[in-house]
Amino acid sequence: GAALGIKEQAVRYLVMMTSLEESVRVFLPTWSASPPLRLYMSAWDHNGEGRPKKLGKPDKVHALPEIVWWDTLGELCCSCDRGRLMEEAPCVLKLAPAALSESWSSTAELPTQESLGRGARVEQVGADATGSFFAVADNLGGPPGPRRRMVFCSSKGGWYCEGKRDGCPSLMDCSHVSAAKAALRLDEGGVSVADQMILRLSEPLSMAALSWLEAWNGELPKIGVCPAVGTSRAQGGGDAGLSEEERYLVGLLERRPHEQATCAGDSCF
Ligand SMILES: [Zn+2]
Ligand SMILES: [Zn+2]
Ligand SMILES: [Zn+2]
């Protein structure tokens, strides 16, 4: 079928956050501000209908978790290619936290370098049979503020830093791998572990996030900025306004009654 809109892909992402078993995994940083100013999220392939990438050393179907955060200007940033290269084009990974932040983002204070730097210097972000993932903070004091890098340690002990794409050395340990190794060597307490965030569709947070996505007009929210009401960029815009199919999907998610013929049975919402 035709490529699904970014909005419907974001709805699917939220739905995939409802199960521990799903291939979409989202992690809350340890000791972070509340509400959280960043999330670690399973990567998403935006091509075609869109699909999640499993956690793993990067290849066609695997990727390290991406990092999505609010910056000191109150804007959402994302480490994924789409988020970095096309700032104006929202990615699914920005849209999902935008939807989950709808209750507080317009009225909150702007994040500071200090609040963005809060938390563990090294934290584990998921682990499975293939290895463990770590987020390593960097540049805590300098402009433009804290940065985090994802690092992977395979179960066989091989290390990989995503910074290899832009500057981390490939033949010796970069500062991120060294920091992760040092954190793991500490006997006391060990390394902090980020909790996985599981959504329950019946909870107000999820309902509000889905309604927000349904009404989304194509503009990403900013912290401290009230969204313009009634101004619709919708006219003729690709994603603006849900298609019938999208409306139906959102309806299913909200457990609206639907016809027997369209019920998917056991796996149905
Ligand atoms: Zn992104
Ligand atoms: Zn590195
Ligand atoms: Zn049904």
Ligand nearest to the CA of 179: 2
The Cα–Cα gap between 208 and 139 comes to: 35
Ligand nearest to the CA of 159: 2
CA of 168 to the centre of ligand 2 (A): 5
CA of 106 to the centre of ligand 1 (A): 21
pLDDT for 187 equals 66
> What average pLDDT does the segment 67-96 reach?
88
CA of 82 to the centre of ligand 1 (A): 5
**% of the chain exceeding 70 in pLDDT:** 81
pLDDT for 207-235, tens place per residue?
899 999 989 988 899 999 987 654 444 43
253 has a pLDDT exceeding 60: no
pLDDT for 254 equals 54
Q: Compute CA distances 64 → 40, 74, 78, 150, whole Å.
A: 10, 25, 13, 7
pLDDT for 143 equals 79
* ipTM tops 0.95: no
CA of 24 to the centre of ligand 2 (A): 24
CA of 254 to the centre of ligand 3 (A): 11
Task: Tell me the domain boundaries of the chain.
Answer: 6-101+109-199
**Contact by Cβ (8 Å): 207, 54:** no
239/147: higher pLDDT? 147
> What average pLDDT does the segment 118-139 reach?
94
- What is the 3 state secondary structure string of 136-165? EEECCCCCCCCEEEEEEEECCCCEEEHHHH
181/264: higher pLDDT? 181
218 SS3 class: coil
Task: Kindly indicate the confidence band of residue 156, based on its pLDDT and cuts at 50, 70 and 90.
Answer: very high
Rounded mean pLDDT of the chain? 84
